[in-house]
Homo-oligomer: A and B are copies of this chain.
Amino acid sequence: MEFKISKELIAQLQELIQGNNSTALEALLADMHQADIAEILDELTIDEATYIFKVLESEKTAEILLEMEDDLREKILSRLSPKEIAEELDELETNDAADIIAELSREKKEEVIQEIEDIEHAKDIVELLRYKENTAGGLMHKELVKVNENWTVLHCVKEMRIQAENISRVHSIYVVDDEDRLKGRLSLKDLLVSSTKKAISDIYIRKLNWVNVDTEDTEVARIMQKYDLEAIPVVDEMGRLVGRITIDDIVDVIKEEADKDYQLAAGISQDVEADDSILELTRARLPWLVLALLGGMISVHVLGLFEGAMDGHRNLFFFTPLIAAMAGNVGVQSSAIIVQGLANNTLSGTVFQRLVKEVSLTLLNGIILAAILFLGSHFLLQVDTTIGIIVGIALITVIVIASLIGTFVPLLLDKFGIDPALATGPFITTSNDICGILIYFSIAKLILGF
């Protein structure tokens, strides 16, 4: 069951906007989910969207703002005054507010922060702005329920009531000492069955998972997935509890990370989608194509080196795209398996074991493929046997080397702290194309002696 935008609804909204009928507009949108309203605004002109935005309560528009496409949000924010933006932020959780502020210009950012009414909220937002985007600090929010280990159960319950008011989902109660250092967590059940005079230190659970502010977001995602956590506390360098990350934020990290790896493998720089502008798409796609083109020019040069073969062995040249394509395909397979293994932390064994495995695997595949190619060359393409043998041997050699490049380049990048996904896609196909062609003709030259 899901909401679908209809043309009738859009027409009806436009009519109400033109008629300046804000009451009817509010009534019409009252029961709709913020995610649906965000979709509707995307179908309207920016003037119409801004009109609706100003008609609705900031409690509602703040949530809508979060659900919008980045482009639309940017446009709408540019039409709001710092005071109006601050009103939206007052309604949001700290990390959502910080994410929105981070998109503003430096100047507007300061003006907006000045206008936030709740000083504590503003302080928290400013603190969050300090952390890098792809760390636990950049992901966490300040909203959480924490109690002191020295409190009694009674005191604790009273304090919790106050704290829980600002939090949509409690998930966990964290226990800290007088210095705010994270000590453990409290189960709601234990709290409810304990005598009100008991000290928290007697009933809390000392074992819990936590991350540091500078833990990478993908690492946080991995830990939360591994231990099936719905929330995880974040501590600073001194072990003090500074925030909390919840599973819904992690879902976004997982999605973004997967999308990023996928796009890199396809030769697209991060963060574009089909509906972005031609200029944005070009910026994401062209650099990889230029890289591939330059690689292609090297392969032209390499082929030129073997021009001598043209005199007696023209057939050899017909096989170059096949050899290059197979090198590329095998390289991409190998690198994809390594990139995914690194991302999911499922690689085991030593580098030498991996080398032996990859070579055996590709040898097995290579022999089967070379046999097919040899038979195909002989019966279908009717090339003479020597050429058939040469392309067969070359195919095995080329794909073994291509798979080694595909395996070890990402491992090497990872070792140096570079995203191994960069080594997939055009990078690996292009370098394997060149290597493949070079190896193929070298083998041919060795055998035929042109």
Q: Is A46 an interface residue, CB under 8 A from the partner? A: no
Residues of B within 8 A of A429 (CB): 325, 328-329
**Residue of A209, A261, A315, A328 ringed by the most chain B CB atoms within 10 A:** A328
Give A97 Cβ to nearest chain B Cβ, in Å. 16
Residues in B neighbouring A347, C-beta threshold 8 A: 274-275
Residue-wise, chain A 281-321 has the 8 Å CB interface mask toward B (1 for contact) of 11001101110111111011101100100100011011111
A61 within 8 A of B: no
Contact between A278 and B33, CB atoms less than 8 A apart: no
Contact among B169, B209, B251, B348 with A251 in the assembled complex (CB-CB below 8 Å) = B251
Closest B residue to A320 by CB, please name it. B321
Q: What per-residue 1/0 map shows which CB atoms of A416-436 lie under 8 Å from chain B?
A: 000000001110011001000
Query: Interface readout for A346-362 with B: 1 if CB under 8 Å, 0 if not?
Result: 11110000100100110
- Do B258 and A247 touch (CB < 8 A)? no
**Distance to closest chain B CB from A50 (angstroms):** 20
Q: Cα distance A322–B227 when bound, in Å?
A: 48
> CB-CB contacts of A363-399 with B at 8 A, as 1s and 0s?
0110011001100110011000000000000000001
Q: Which candidate, A137-145, A154-162, A331-339, is the interface stretch facing chain B?
A: A331-339
A41 near B: Cβ within 8 Å? no
Of A226, A254, A289, most buried by chain B (CB within 10 Å of CB) is A289
**In the complex, A178 has a CB within 8 A of chain B:** no
Contact of A346 among B247, B274, B317 (CB under 8 A): B274
- Do A275 and B341 form a contact, CB below 8 Å, given A289-B369, A297-B322, A333-B285? yes
What is the interface size of chain A, counting residues whose CB is below 8 A from a CB of the partner?
A: 108
As for how many copies of this chain the complex holds, the number is: 2
Given contacts A209-B1, A325-B429, A333-B268, contact A293 B341 (CB under 8 A): no
A207 interface hit (Cβ, 8 Å): yes
A230: CB under 8 A from chain B?
yes
Are B255 and A337 in contact, with the CB atoms below 8 A? no
In the complex the two chains form, is A272's CB within 8 Å of B326's CB? no
Q: By DSSP majority rule, is chain A's interface helix, strand, loop, or mixed?
A: helix
A201 interfacial contact with B, CB 8 Å: no
Instruction: Using A250-B251, A365-B282 as known contacts, say yes or no to A289 and B326 having CB atoms under 8 A apart.
Output: yes
Which one, B33, B259, B286, B325, contacts A324 given CB within 8 A?
B325
Within 8 Å CB of A225, what residues of B?
Answer: 251, 255
- Count chain B CB atoms within 10 A of each CB in A169, A272, A274, A299 and give the residue with the most: A274
| Nearest CB of B to A282, in Å | 6
Q: Cβ of A341 and Cβ of B273 under 8 Å apart? A: yes
Is A8 in the interface zone, CB < 8 Å from B? Answer: no
Q: How far is the CB of A154 from chain B (nearest CB, A)?
A: 19
In angstroms, Cα B344 to Cα A275, docked, is 12
**A interface vs B, CB < 8 Å?**
1-2, 31, 33, 35, 67, 169, 207, 209-212, 223, 225-228, 230, 247-248, 250-251, 254-255, 258-259, 261-263, 265-268, 272-275, 278, 281-282, 285-286, 288-290, 292-297, 299-301, 303-304, 307, 310, 314-315, 317-326, 328-330, 332-333, 335-338, 340-341, 344, 346-349, 354, 357, 360-361, 364-365, 368-369, 372-373, 376-377, 380-381, 399, 424-426, 429-430, 433, 437
16 A–B contacts from the bound complex (CB under 8 Å): A2-B209, A258-B259, A261-B262, A278-B364, A286-B365, A289-B326, A289-B399, A292-B329, A293-B322, A294-B376, A297-B373, A297-B380, A303-B321, A310-B317, A325-B328, A325-B430
